[in-house]
Amino acid sequence: MIKETATPSHVANATAATTTLTPPDLAIVGNTLQIHPSSIADTPFASQEQSLLEPYARFRRQPINALQELGLHVLGEGWRSYDDIVGQEIFYPGFSENMKGMVMAQERLQRKLAELAGKRVEVEIHEGLLGPKGPEGEAHEHRKRRLERRREIEAQLREVAEDWTDKMICKMESKYFIRSAYYLCTQLLTRAYHQGIHVSSDEVLHLRSVAAEAAKKKQSIIFLPCHKSHVDYVSLQLICYRLGLALPTVVAGDNLNFPVVGSFLQHAGAMWIRRSFGDDQLYTTLVQSYMDTLLQNGYNIECFVEGGRSRTGKLLQPKFGILSFFSTATTKSIEVDSYVSELLGQPKPKEDLASFLSASSVLSLKLGRVDVRFHEPWSLRGFIDEHRSRLLQKSLPSVGEMKVDLALKRRLLTTLGYKVLSDINDASVVMPTALVGTVLLTLRGRGVGKSELVRRVEWLSDR
């Protein structure tokens, strides 16, 4: 699980409190990956911060260097090749068709197709469309006609399922594409977050060892980050690519599946699901079958337990929809202006290409850096087995088995959801704006001087 935050540069120095026990950070900016202390103020590295975090060359300023860097990504020089990754093989021609075939072959989906076809045949029999009801309808000609109709309906449902699967699954087809996508996303991200992405070196090393062990056992890593901004999933994809880890399949709402951007994200690892499934049994089973396929074959997954993005910067209540599929098998974000409008009562604007392009002006801002922290990983299977056995011991024997299963599932999902949120809080980076805001809320007067504000913030950060 990860926690992503962004530190505004104009208040970053207000929390310059480090100890020698703090592990160094890895700074991922442009094509460089450097280790340096978590805080640079009052350290020998302070004067080297700019050179350590030099972003990619800009086409307007250094066109030749920029073209050289782009060429390195397209040709796949060194780590950019993304050939020797830790995890299951991805980004090869035919990946989508192989994944689609595995999903459609899931026994769960095949049973549901047969079940739905059978139910439709029963409805048509009741309506008198497939011969008479009762003993007369058991004649050979009527039984043959009903069997043919059932096969016809099942074939139609299979076509629908194949079409939905093709639109839903991520399409990791080309390494040339993902190399170029990494370059493009890094260019865009480092324009706004000019200090880059920072992760703890200890956490990254531990993550790589966990990923290597999971790959040997063909197990999946499920990333469950907080969701404050679109930067969340972009940052994790960039980190995994740079460190040579298999990119996770990102569970994303189909509201982002609009022209150009939707296709780009899908080929970079996004899978599209509806915001609401309703009573659509086939679609629900299809999503479950896709999740089963990913988990059974050891592909990494990323989803957001909060559902949508937080509009307040605080964690939202957990949404149990996506977690049920697994149990069965920034202080300053780039969307801050839209968040303010929504908090003032304006309706959430629909995601489209026009709004995406209009938001490009934020890339000229200097928002500081993105901090990503990874919590100690734990086994989902072990968690479910432990809590299931504990909850079963408390179940009343007089309660029906069906009610026990439903109640047990609800308790498990609730416990799992809040455990994830608790772990996100544990891994969170306390941001300078949070410290400043806390100090301001404790003041009795109408204002405070800069020196007094810094003194109180430093005192609070030392606690």
User: What pTM, to 2 d.p., does this model score?
Assistant: 0.77
The residue written with tokens 């980076």 in the block is 429
At residue 223, φ and ψ (nearest 5 deg) are -90, 130
* Tens digits of pLDDT across the chain (463 residues): 444 433 333 333 333 333 334 555 566 655 555 555 443 333 343 333 232 234 566 667 778 877 887 788 778 888 888 998 999 999 999 999 999 999 999 999 999 999 999 999 999 988 888 878 777 777 888 888 999 999 999 999 999 999 999 999 999 999 999 998 988 888 888 777 777 788 888 888 888 899 999 999 999 999 988 877 778 888 889 889 988 999 999 999 888 888 888 999 999 999 999 988 888 999 999 999 999 999 999 999 998 887 766 656 677 777 777 778 876 653 344 444 444 444 444 555 555 555 544 555 555 667 777 888 888 898 888 888 888 888 777 654 544 555 556 777 788 888 888 888 888 888 777 778 888 888 888 888 777 888 988 898 888 887 7
Numbers of helices and strands, H then E, in the chain? 17, 9
Domain ranges of the chain: 105-165, 167-346+356-428, 430-462
The residue written with tokens 């996506």 in the block is 322
Report the chain's terminal Cα–Cα distance, integer Å. 26
At residue 195, φ and ψ (nearest 5 deg) are -90, 0
Amino acid at 414: T
Sign of CA dihedral 448, 452, 457, 462: negative
Helical H runs in 369-431?
Answer: 380-394, 401-427
Sheet holding 32-36, edge to edge: 2-7, 369-374, 197-200, 25-29, 32-36
Tokens of 255: 């509201």
Q: 3-class secondary structure for 227-281?
A: CCCCHHHHHHHHHHHHCCECCCEEEEEHHHCCCCHHHHHHHHCEEEECCCCCCCH
Separation of alpha carbons 211 and 213, rounded Å? 5
Residues with Cβ within 8 Å of residue 135, at least 6 apart in sequence: none
DSSP SS3 for 28: strand
Fold classified for 167-346+356-428: Glycerol-3-phosphate (1)-acyltransferase (3.40.1130)
